[in-house]
Structure 1
Amino acid sequence: MSKLFIGGLAWHTEETTLRQKFEEFGPIEEAVVVKDRDTGRSRGFGFVRYTTEADADKAIANMNNVEFDGREIRVDKASDTGPKNTYGRGGGPYSGRGGYAQQPQMYSYGMPNAAVVYPPASYGRGGYPSQPVAYGTPPPQELVRDGDLDLETQA
């Protein structure tokens, strides 16, 4: 049994159309066009499950980067681990449902035994990461409130 990912589908592609085209390469257990749960409209990708690995390989060889139903589609083996890329949704060190599944890892960016190690950027809910303040720079005005810092009485 082998499952294929079909990406780049036209918005109007139906499951029956997908099934008919991919049955040319062998018997299919399942053909699904993924739809948005709120609108019911196609999300532009789907899955086809073949009974044999050889039929799936034949479908990849014949249908990858080919025009189907008005669009050029991408056909790959589907993985159970989620998206392959680390941009957009999913992937990366924060791939849990809430976006903060585990602690960030430290990266040395290209140098195997680097002395300087930088943490990954975290532009999440906290805004931009704090920047180092140059020596001798006065504190930001929003931190100094009346009554909190009275320099004349401390001298």
Structure 2
Amino acid sequence: MSVYVGNLSYEVTEATLNAVFAEYGSVKRVQLPTDRETGRLRGFGFVEMGTDAEENAAIEALDGAEWMGRDLKVNKAKPREERGGSFGGGGGNRGNYGGRNRY
């Protein structure tokens, strides 16, 4: 299980986020997703800690706390939803734009 950290500054690094969470226990991993097109941070991240007790302590202390000019949103991460369909997703008949039938 991991912790979701939202409303992060775009200046945050894995090292700085690791340091903040290390105050509450052992940090196993920090992930900061980036935008595919721009490479810019997306404003949220995930922190995996050693135990549930450490995660809970970090959540309790950091949720709503101000850090780097932002009020953090910290909670248990929800499992990632599966995306159905094949590459590119669904979409049905892509040649039928605007509801016009082409028969």
In structure 2, what is the equivalent of residue 68 of structure 1?
67
Query: TM-score with structure 2 length normalisation?
Result: 0.78
C-alpha distance in structure 2 between counterparts of 1:20 and 1:51, whole Å: 14
State the secondary structure of the residue aligned to 2:2: strand
- Change over 3 Å in CA distance of 1:99–1:68 after alignment to 2: farther
Q: Which amino acid aligns with 2:32?
A: V
CA displacement at 1:96 relative to structure 2:
3.4
C-alpha distance in structure 2 between counterparts of 1:11 and 1:62, whole Å: 22
Which structure has more relative contact order (CA 8 Å, sep 6+)? It is 2
RMSD, aligned CA: 2.2
Residue 34 (structure 2) pairs with residue 46 (structure 1): no
The unaligned stretches of length 5 or more in structure 1 are 83-89, 101-124, 128-155
Matches within 5 A, 1:19-98: 19-82=18-81, 96=84, 98=89
Number of residue pairs matched by the alignment: 92
Query: TM-score with structure 1 length normalisation?
Result: 0.53
Q: Which has the larger radius of gyration?
A: 1
C-alpha distance in structure 2 between counterparts of 1:81 and 1:11, whole Å: 23
Instruction: Note the alpha carbon deviations across 1:92-131, whole angstroms, 9 max, x for none.
Output: xxx636255xxxxxxxxxxxxxxxxxxxxxxxx646xxxx
Q: Which amino acid aligns with 2:61?
A: N
- Change over 3 Å in CA distance of 1:68–1:99 after alignment to 2: farther
C-alpha distance in structure 1 between counterparts of 2:66 and 2:90, whole Å: 36
C-alpha distance in structure 2 between counterparts of 1:24 and 1:36, whole Å: 29
C-alpha distance in structure 2 between counterparts of 1:18 and 1:52, whole Å: 17
C-alpha distance in structure 1 between counterparts of 2:98 and 2:15, whole Å: 46
Instruction: Note the alpha carbon deviations across 1:15-45, whole angstroms, 9 max, x for none.
Output: 1110000110000100111111222211000
Fraction of identical pairs, as percent: 37
C-alpha distance in structure 1 between counterparts of 2:70 and 2:79, whole Å: 26
The unaligned stretches of length 5 or more in structure 2 are 92-96
